[in-house]
Structure 1
Amino acid sequence: MIEEPLTGGNNALEVVRVGDTVRRARDAGAEFASQVLLYLESVGYPYAPRYLGIDEHGRDILTFIPGNTTDHPTQRAPGAYACGGRMLRDLHETTAGHVLAAAAECVIHGDPGPFNTVFQRGMPVAFIDWSSSRPGNRLDDLGYMAWTWCIQSQGRVPIDQQAQHLRELRDGYGDVEPEQLLGAIVRRQTSIADVEAVNASNHNLTATRRQHAEAAIAWATADRKLVYEHKALLLSALA
Structure 2
Amino acid sequence: MGASWSMGPTYLVRMTEEPLSGGHNAHEVVRIGDTVHRRGDGNAFAVRVLRHLAEVGYPYAPRHLGVDEQGRDVLTYVPGETTDHPSQRTAGAYALGGRMLRDLHDATAGHALAAGRECVLHGDPGPFNTIFRAGLPVAFIDWDSCRPGDRLDDLGYLAWTWCVQSQGHVPIDDQARHLRELRDGYGDVGADTLVAAVLRRQTELAEVEAANAADPRHSAARRRHAEWAVAWATGDRDLFLGHEHVFRAALR
User: 1:132 aligned to 2:128?
Assistant: no
> Whole-Å Cα distance in 2 between the matches of residues 24 and 63 of structure 1?
11
SS in structure 2 of the partner of residue 144 of structure 1: helix
Aligned identity (percent) is 66
SS in structure 2 of the partner of residue 10 of structure 1: coil
For residue 24 of structure 1, report the CA deviation from its aligned partner: 0.7
User: 1:76 aligned to 2:89?
Assistant: yes
User: 1:237 aligned to 2:240?
Assistant: no
Deviations 1:116-138 (A, max 9, x none): 00000000000000010010000
Q: How many residues align?
A: 238
User: 1:114 aligned to 2:127?
Assistant: yes
Deviations 1:4-24 (A, max 9, x none): 110111111111101110011
User: 1:13 aligned to 2:13?
Assistant: no
| Contact 1:111 1:132 (8 Å CA) reproduced | yes
- AA in 2 matched with 1:218: A
User: 1:211 aligned to 2:224?
Assistant: yes
| Contact 1:53 1:61 (8 Å CA) reproduced | yes
SS in structure 1 of the partner of residue 145 of structure 2: coil
Deviations 1:44-86 (A, max 9, x none): 0000000001111111000000000000000001000000000
| Contact 1:26 1:58 (8 Å CA) reproduced | no
For residue 227 of structure 1, report the CA deviation from its aligned partner: 1.0
Alignment of 1:1-40 (within 5 A): 1-27=15-41, 30-40=43-53
Specify the alignment match of 1:151 in structure 2.
Answer: 164
Deviations 1:80-101 (A, max 9, x none): 0000000000000110000000
Specify the alignment match of 1:101 in structure 2.
Answer: 114
Q: TM-score, normalised on structure 1?
A: 0.98
For residue 190 of structure 1, report the CA deviation from its aligned partner: 0.7
Structure showing greater radius of gyration is: 2
Specify the alignment match of 2:213 in structure 1.
Answer: 200
- Which sections of structure 1, spanning at least 5 residues, go unmatched? none
Deviations 1:161-189 (A, max 9, x none): 00000000000000201011011111111
> Whole-Å Cα distance in 1 between the matches of residues 146 and 116 of structure 2?
15
Specify the alignment match of 2:238 in structure 1.
Answer: 225
> Whole-Å Cα distance in 2 between the matches of residues 191 and 23 of structure 1?
32
Specify the alignment match of 2:8 in structure 1.
Answer: none
User: What is the root-mean-square deviation in Å for CA atoms of aligned residues?
Assistant: 0.7
For residue 26 of structure 1, report the CA deviation from its aligned partner: 2.3
> Whole-Å Cα distance in 2 between the matches of residues 90 and 12 of structure 1?
28
For residue 202 of structure 1, report the CA deviation from its aligned partner: 1.1
> Whole-Å Cα distance in 1 between the matches of residues 220 and 164 of structure 2?
28
SS in structure 1 of the partner of residue 16 of structure 2: coil
Deviation larger for 197-206 or 68-77: 197-206
Specify the alignment match of 1:52 in structure 2.
Answer: 65
Give runs of ≥4 in structure 1 deviating > 3 Å.
Answer: none
> Whole-Å Cα distance in 2 between the matches of residues 99 and 190 of structure 1?
30
| Contact 1:26 1:59 (8 Å CA) reproduced | yes
Q: TM-score, normalised on structure 2?
A: 0.93
Structure with higher RCO (Cα < 8 A, 6+ apart): 1
> Whole-Å Cα distance in 2 between the matches of residues 222 and 163 of structure 1?
17
User: 1:166 aligned to 2:179?
Assistant: yes
